[in-house]
Chains A and B, each alone.
Chain A
Amino acid sequence: MPNRKKLIEAVKSLFIVLLLISALILGNKTDLFSHFLSSSAVIAGVADFAKLIGGGQPAPGDAALGGDYSPAAMPRFIMMNSQNGLSYCIKYNRELLADTYRQFSVELGEALGSSGEPVMVPMREWEAALVGPGVFFDFLYEQPLDVLSGWLGMYIDSAAKDHTARYICLARDGDNLDLYYIREKDHAAYKCDTALSYGSISSKLESYSLDNSSFAFEFSEDYDLLDPYFIILNQLPEVYELTAGNPLYAGIDEEGLLGLLNINSIVAIPYTEPDGTKVYVDGDVTLRVYPSGIAVFRQSGEEGLKIGTSNSASSSEVVEKAYSIAAESIGKYCGAAEPCFTGITYNAETEIFTITFDYSLNGLPIKRTDGLHALEMQVKNGIVTNLSLNYREYGFTGSILSPSPLPEKQAAVLVQAKGGGEPLLVYEDSGSSVSVSWLIN
């Protein structure tokens, strides 16, 4: 008998729990108790559980949709050549560049990932590839191919992984698609077989059935002093006016910056110098945040801001670290611009990597007249020894630049007359204003 009573009481308890859950589910469906349910974290958690059972909307943060490639890896100029011999180039339009790159980035990744051993080829073969059916990418700055392929989700097995290239081309070879590039080190052209067929990009190429550009080398002697791979557009697109400012006036998240640089914000109490510079010291690490918008980090010890866990770092790891720092610091305050990877060098004697990022807006590089980079970082033995961050905020005024810059053909003629080089259309930031000019790169 006592056992029977116990069983009945146990069933009653279970029934109470079920009725409570049922009431929560029904209450959630009526929204009668939504305010009450959300006022307590515990009850809100139970309510979310009830929502899931009741088939309601997923809790915020559940939906994280698929990502995109890293903008640090995006080419500045893309030219598509169709089978009909039409050449369509996209320049100076970030949105179009991003959309077009999105169309071909998977194939570029597949080509890099499946590339065979690179073979040096004559320049005339490289130039034939550029004007034949295919797609040409100009990243404006040398890209380590292993880093670029990593950004595209691939891994290079061949010797190409140790090469860097600014110009890359996917070109038709019969039914196949070959990978060509100019290697920075020896300025020679290389070709790799890939596992791709031309059919993987042919239908996309045919949708670009406009002709708006040519390479400088296609004009033979007219532009023989110009960079041969400067692309001359028939018509310059609109270029917009910019404003520039120092985001430090409005304040930045200094605690976030300290965390990003592995500086202990409790230990590193700041002091302010007479000129307004804030200085944080944490052992061997110093961070100075100048009122001009520059932050300088120095580390002399072996602890602090490390890359990975070993005492060395590969170029890919260094680039990735710099990119993550750029994205989480200057990248949050640059307005309409974005920090882009612009170079990495390695000094074998000092064993130091130097890596730079610069601002870019709408496909145009932004050059500071004082020569400062948006980010410049030095890494030795896997430790970040020096880092400078140049905070700048850029925005559009809404107006098209007037007068508009020289058309590309005229710029090409001027550069040819001045002795040659590569004409480069840039925004120039003097600190107080931003203008557009043609530089000789």
Chain B
Amino acid sequence: MDKAKIKNFIIIILLLVNMFLLAIVLMDINEAKAAGKQAELSVISILDQNGIRLDESVDISTDTPGTYVLRRDLDEEKKLVRKILGRTYIEDMGGNIYYYRSETGQASYRGTGEFDYLLDAGEILMGNDAVRTAKKILSKMGVNPAMNNDFVEVSEINGSTSVVLTCSWNGSYVFDNKVSFLFSNDSLILISGRRVFDSQISSGDPSLDALTILMRFLDLVKTEGHVSSVISGLTPGYVMNVTSSSVSELMPVWRIETDSGVYFLDGITGEAVANTIN
């Protein structure tokens, strides 16, 4: 048999094998979808039997967050500061603390992710919408603000407007990273908060999925005696642990909103996280 015919034969065999494997893969996907749907219905039924209704708006097919380790990148940080302050003079205070000064204001950044800006009046105007301005500034600082207004707090005190935004990372909320903006006389004068670090250095396995978390929540309700009758929100996200200066871990958590309050469950263990996040 010459080479050309052998190759033709191999191609036909491989095509058949690929078609066979593709058929199996598609069957597996369908079976998994059906099993997933069945599991969802089972969980909803179990919750119902225990007096807890899952609101229709709750998305239980949402992706599960993983665990990430992030490191501060000083070069990136300097670029971001320049976007707000312009050309800056940088002072290394030691202890991984940097002060940035310019003609328009000053900022300090720590190895814990915490930062502060003190801006000269008139440099950044509030405009008609303080929240919109705050979100725009936050994006400029390389911090993604939370996508919807559930995690936005606005208050007025003595003619000053305060906006607090929850940060997000890779499309998920970082519930304990908040940034405050203080506007006085229509001018932004103070920004303070904590940011997620710049470079990802490693990642871990995905955490517990939504259905498992709901069952863990049911255990929590039973053991701790909470009275909840409706789950109106189920949001995956992160909390940030600074493990050492300039290195942090994003740990997955699930935020469960009910008629009796908001609960946070650890995305790896399923246990309740101390509610100091929100």
A residues in contact (CB < 8 Å) with B: 9, 12-13, 15-16, 19-20, 22-23, 26-27, 29-30, 32, 57-58, 62-69, 105-107, 109-115, 152-157, 194-196, 200, 207
Contact = CB atoms under 8 A, between A and B. Distances in A.
A388 B203 CA distance: 40
A66 B99 CA distance: 26
Contacts of B69: 65-66
B141 interface: no
Interface string B73-115: 0000000000000000000011111010000000000111010
Among A30, A58, A69: residue with most chain B CB under 10 A = A30
A57 B247 CA distance: 25
Contact of A114 (B14, B94, B203, B244): B94
A66 B25 contact: no
B94 A113 contact: yes
12 contacts: A16-B7, A22-B18, A30-B24, A30-B25, A63-B203, A65-B249, A66-B202, A66-B247, A105-B244, A106-B111, A113-B94, A195-B97
Contact of B18 (A23, A107, A154): A23
Given A153-B244, A196-B97, A200-B114, 19 more contacts: A16-B10, A16-B14, A19-B17, A23-B14, A26-B25, A29-B25, A57-B205, A63-B205, A65-B202, A65-B204, A66-B201, A66-B202, A106-B245, A109-B95, A110-B111, A113-B245, A154-B94, A196-B95, A200-B110
Contacts of A64: 202
A110 B245 contact: yes
A204 to B, nearest CB: 10
A12 B7 contact: yes
Given A63-B203, A110-B110, A23 B17 contact: yes
A66 to B, nearest CB: 4
A110 B95 contact: yes
B11 A15 contact: yes
A195 B95 contact: yes
A67 B95 contact: no
Contacts, number: 125
A105 B18 CA distance: 56
B22 interface: yes
A195 B91 CA distance: 11
A18 B137 CA distance: 47
Given A16-B14, A19-B14, A23-B14, A154 B95 contact: yes
Contact of A19 (B15, B110, B112): B15
Contact of B245 (A27, A152, A200): A152
Nearest to B93: A195
B1 interface: no
A154 B97 CA distance: 11
A350 to B, nearest CB: 35
Contacts of A115: 94-95
> Main SS of the interface on chain B?
mixed
Contacts of A156: 94
Closest 7 CB pairs of A and B: A113-B95, A114-B95, A110-B95, A195-B93, A114-B94, A26-B21, A19-B14
A65 B249 CA distance: 8
Contacts of B93: 114, 195
A96 to B, nearest CB: 15
A29 B202 CA distance: 24
A111 B95 contact: yes
B144 interface: no
Contacts of A195: 93-95, 97, 99
Interface in B1-60: 3-4, 7-8, 10-11, 14-15, 17-18, 21-22, 24-25, 28
B243 interface: yes
A15 B111 CA distance: 52
A23 B10 CA distance: 13
Nearest to A105: B244
Nearest to B203: A63
B242 interface: yes
A89 B266 CA distance: 28
Contact of A26 (B22, B110, B247): B22
A9 B6 CA distance: 11
A153 B246 contact: yes
B248 interface: yes
Contacts of B67: 65
Contacts of A196: 95, 97
Given A30-B21, A68-B243, A113 B96 contact: yes
A66 B15 contact: no
Nearest to A68: B243
Contact of B24 (A32, A62, A69, A207): A32
B200 to A, nearest CB: 11
Contacts of A29: 21, 25, 28
Nearest to B242: A106
